[in-house]
Structure 1
Amino acid sequence: MSTHYESHSILGRVVNELEETAIAILLGLMTLVTFINVVLRYGFNTGLIWGLEATSFLFAWLVLFGISYAVKVTAHLGVDAVIALFSDPVRRVLALFAGVVCILYAALVLKGAWDYWAPFAGLDATSGRWFPTGFANSRDQAWYEVVDIPIPEWLRWIEPVMNEGEAYEKLPRFIPYAILPFGAALLLFRFVQATIRIARGSATGLIVSHEAEDAIADVQHMNRED
């Protein structure tokens, strides 16, 4: 069973609300678009041309929000068979080490995500092989569009800003791709948050889920009832 750690800082509470609200909205939108497409296809022999692409983007956003949220609620699975052999002080040191490794990993992911997304937004990627040392000029790819999703009329104001005044026919890619650096930043924030909890002694590790053990216990309980 996962443990839910409440955030006491304003930033933590804001991120909590953002993640939970976004996950609920994304699930709702995916369900709505899929339902409408099914009704149109089987009831009227037509459909939303952009429905599949929109659902794919919504699912990608859901996954990236879910990764960071799962860190917060310690729902990621892990193997602790070796760690369980050590005493509590050693486990804490190992947990802190794991937290630092995860922070470094998330920082690398964030750099890669920014470097991939930035050209689509007309921004510069970072320089440096592993960690950013500055910004390097990159080719402006803000004119790139998605395949099927049309641009909503209320977004036309971005054309003079992002596309030198030329009209977009489809949604510019930098909008759905923005979840890449944003999701990576959320993941980094959650790993920092979790590591601080371990350092303060309010958590014992990054992972407290033991679904395999719970499943075995359930089976044993069922066998006893039989």
Structure 2
Amino acid sequence: MNVTLTLALFIAAWALLDYLKPQFVANLEDNILSFLLAIITLVSFGQVVARYGFNTGWSAALEFNMLAFSWLILFGMSYGIRTRLHLGVDILLQKVGPQTAKMLGIFGGLLGAFYALIILDGAVLSIVGVDKEGGAITYFAKMYKVGIGVEEMKYPAFVQEMFGLKRPHVQRWVVLLILPISLGLLAYRCLQASWHIYTGQCGSLIAGHEAESLVEENRGALKD
């Protein structure tokens, strides 16, 4: 399995879909995050009812919620870039001229993409003369090859019978699938944000001072 090629094709397809159907992709990302939040809440609530009401529960609930929350955080990285929800300090940007602020914003986006690529594959550091190997892609490929499972989560009995699974536990590579995908999406969104800043479609990568502007713009609506 060529993880790098598969990931590159996935990100390319996502970028193409985002270009052709931006609203569809935006709704899809919203729904994915909403689903993760909902499932975490439902499992937590169900555990409370089961434990205190029936003295039972799902032994893998804690592990499931931890993994689901990690999916929420990792997928939310690129979502935050697209929606400019990441908090940041923009004091410097407010002190410099518009062109300088624009260049700094573009540079920040490129640095964000470079960071995501470094975590994906340390070999990217060879660009700056650093010999480093390993990263999310290497780790995922290793887990896929080894095939070990997580500690608590198991496939339902009917799934085990249907596919003839010899190991009941969910493979670790399944829960780690979000790691290379989220970093790939983060790199894409950072590059996209840099382009949007360059073309004047947005002013910065972060919420920063823009949050105050949004409050002012909607002050009348809030009063209503």
State the match for 1:198 in structure 2: 197
Matched residues in 2 for 1:158 and 1:10: separation?
Answer: 37
RMSD of aligned alpha carbons: 2.4
TM-score by length of 2: 0.74
State the match for 2:49 in structure 1: 39
Counterpart pick for 2:153 among 149, 152, 177 = 149
For 2:205, the aligned partner's letter is L
Deviation at 1:190, TM superposition (A): 1.0
Note the alpha carbon deviations across 1:111-165, whole angstroms, 9 max, x for none.
222122111112xxxxxxxxxxxxxxxxxx11x1111111234366766xxxxxx
Change (3 A) 1:205 1:113: same
- Equivalences for 1:33-182 in 2 at 5 Å? 33-111=43-121, 112-122=135-145, 141-142=146-147, 144-152=148-156, 153-154=158-159, 167-182=166-181
TM-score by length of 1: 0.73
Note the alpha carbon deviations across 1:18-75, whole angstroms, 9 max, x for none.
3211111111111111111111100111111011111111111011111111111111
Q: Gaps (5+ residues) in structure 2? A: 1-16, 122-134, 217-224
Q: Gaps (5+ residues) in structure 1? A: 1-6, 123-140, 160-165, 218-226
Deviation at 1:197, TM superposition (A): 0.2
Matched residues in 2 for 1:202 and 1:211: separation?
Answer: 14
1:209 lines up with 2:208 in the alignment: yes
More helix per residue: 2
Note the alpha carbon deviations across 1:173-193, whole angstroms, 9 max, x for none.
111111111111111111111
Q: After the TM superposition, which parts of structure 1 deviate over 6 Å for at least 4 consecutive aligned residues?
A: 155-159, 211-214
Matched residues in 1 for 2:20 and 2:97: separation?
Answer: 35
Deviation at 1:210, TM superposition (A): 3.7
Change (3 A) 1:169 1:181: same
For 2:203, the aligned partner's letter is T
For 1:73, the aligned partner's letter is T
State the match for 2:125 in structure 1: none
State the match for 1:9 in structure 2: 19
Matched residues in 1 for 2:177 and 2:67: separation?
Answer: 11
Matched residues in 2 for 1:8 and 1:113: separation?
Answer: 24
Percent identical: 34
Figure out how many residues of one structure are paired with residues of the other and give that number: 184
Change (3 A) 1:211 1:52: farther
CA contact (8 A) 1:57 1:176 kept: yes
